[in-house]
Homo-oligomer: A and B are copies of this chain.
Amino acid sequence: MVDALKLASDHGFPVVPFAVGSSLEGQVIPVHGGLSLDVSGMKAVLEVAAGGFQATVQPGVTYPELNRQIRHLGLFFPVDPGAEASLGGMASTNASGTAAVRYGTMRDNVLELRVALVSGEVIRVGSKARKTSAGYDLKNLFIGAEGTLGVITELTIRLWPLPANLVVLRANFETLGAAARCAVDIMGAALQPERLELIDERQIHAVNTHKGTDFPEAPTLWIELASPSETALAEALDLCRELVTDGGGVGLHAAHSAGERAKLWEARHHAYYAITALNPGHINMTTDLCVPLHQLPEVVEFTRREADAAGLDASIVGHVGDGNFHVLFHAPPDDLGTWAKVNTVYDAMITETLARGGTCTGEHGVGLHKRAYLAREHGDTLTLMRGIKALLDPAGLLNPGKILP
């Protein structure tokens, strides 16, 4: 890798890091040509320090593969963006997923990075210690930089103890807004769920069709609770049932067995593919808004209203414990009329989100497609971001055309 970067620097051609290609915003597309630098072969788990709750891995290791290798230690890595994503790529977009509500994002779970700069020089940023105040935080500069500032060559990440007892409560709601409001109540009751997912009736329908499941096709919350104590878990489940019922939830079903829970989360992780399969010939576009939790119900309802008014088939899923939700739009690529409507609705959603203190991307990153939205969200810091880019990559060779408008 160092040789490739030196070659690129010497000859002035772009370098675009690639591992498994599961990012959603065009991050891995070499829009200005050059070298697609494939790190998927760098897949060694270099060290697992169980007593220190940490592992050191190469960037091509996927999170499911890491979890298979450490499961026997009673440990796991909680960031689960859905696809079989690589840890290097996940750090590069600051990915998260369903468990971020409890365990945080990549930013919260990366301790130390080794990064190859465009010159080929490899630096170490962060620390293997759990916390550090030693100088400027360069680690977080590379996390979420989508390969535009350097190429991650090694990560030391936090591991967590596998929860002893788990249960998933499922409940259906009359409206999306009611489900979102109930999610806020659950967070407010300090139940500290492992996962708290909102799935609308369209996504459930797609999942049922695609996976052969028979979930009721209504706005639904999936709430996962954990506790080291079975008694405490039963108490938490009781409180959660009460909150859900008070919030208008019906059809409550608690999944206790590992098999049933796994089937459920697999269905959630495959929601994107389910919609794709249901609409052959269409292309998808996914939004990734994230707002402060108490703003979530209004923004979700606003989104539904705008999409309905425009006559769009928009399905919604959300990591709602974090205030993060995705709208999946789809249409044939040449249906320009529909795509124009999508863009109008998306634009209104961004305006609403920013007015409520939210962000245009909670976990997918900016890539190619959200650069204009980044400008709207952080217009006052674009000069500074460009300064940092120029400092680290003066010739603009690292993943050019991404993030910065």
Given A49-B294, A229-B236, A387-B391, CB of A136 within 8 Å of CB of B130: no
In chain B, what residue has the closest Cβ to A381?
A: B123
- Is B135 a contact partner of A366 (Cβ separation < 8 A)? yes
In chain B, what residue has the closest Cβ to A187?
A: B53
- Is A361 a contact partner of B132 (Cβ separation < 8 A)? yes
- Is B380 a contact partner of A131 (Cβ separation < 8 A)? no
- Is A133 a contact partner of B100 (Cβ separation < 8 A)? no
- Is A133 a contact partner of B384 (Cβ separation < 8 A)? no
- Is A385 a contact partner of B190 (Cβ separation < 8 A)? no
Bound state CA distance, A322 and B107, in angstroms? 17
Bound state CA distance, A56 and B120, in angstroms? 42
In chain B, what residue has the closest Cβ to A117?
A: B384
In chain B, what residue has the closest Cβ to A51?
A: B294
Q: Is A108 an interface residue (CB 8 A)?
A: yes
Residues on the B chain within 8 Å of A278, using CB: none
- Is B51 a contact partner of A188 (Cβ separation < 8 A)? yes
Report the stretch among A11-19, A38-46, A258-266, A285-293 that lies at the interface.
Answer: A285-293
Per-position 1/0 for A381-405, Cβ under 8 A of B: 1001101110110000000000110
Q: Which of the residues B131, B324, B388 comes within 8 Å of A130, measured between beta carbons?
A: B324
Q: Is A145 an interface residue (CB 8 A)?
A: yes
Q: How far is the CB of A221 from chain B (nearest CB, A)?
A: 17
Residues on the B chain within 8 Å of A107, using CB: 131, 137, 140
Q: Is A378 an interface residue (CB 8 A)?
A: yes
Residues on the B chain within 8 Å of A131, using CB: 94, 96, 100, 104-105, 107, 290, 322, 324, 359, 362-363
- Is B190 a contact partner of A134 (Cβ separation < 8 A)? no
21 residue pairs from A and B, CB less than 8 Å apart? A49-B294, A54-B292, A93-B133, A94-B137, A95-B133, A124-B380, A127-B377, A129-B362, A131-B322, A133-B361, A134-B359, A135-B374, A135-B377, A136-B389, A137-B141, A138-B381, A156-B357, A191-B228, A227-B232, A228-B232, A231-B235
A residues sitting closer than 8 Å to B (CB atoms) are 49-54, 74, 93-96, 100, 104-105, 107-108, 112, 121, 123-125, 127-138, 140-141, 143-145, 149, 156, 161, 164, 184, 187-188, 190-191, 227-229, 231-232, 235-236, 288, 290-295, 322-324, 357-366, 370, 373-374, 377-378, 380-381, 384-385, 387-389, 391-392, 403-404
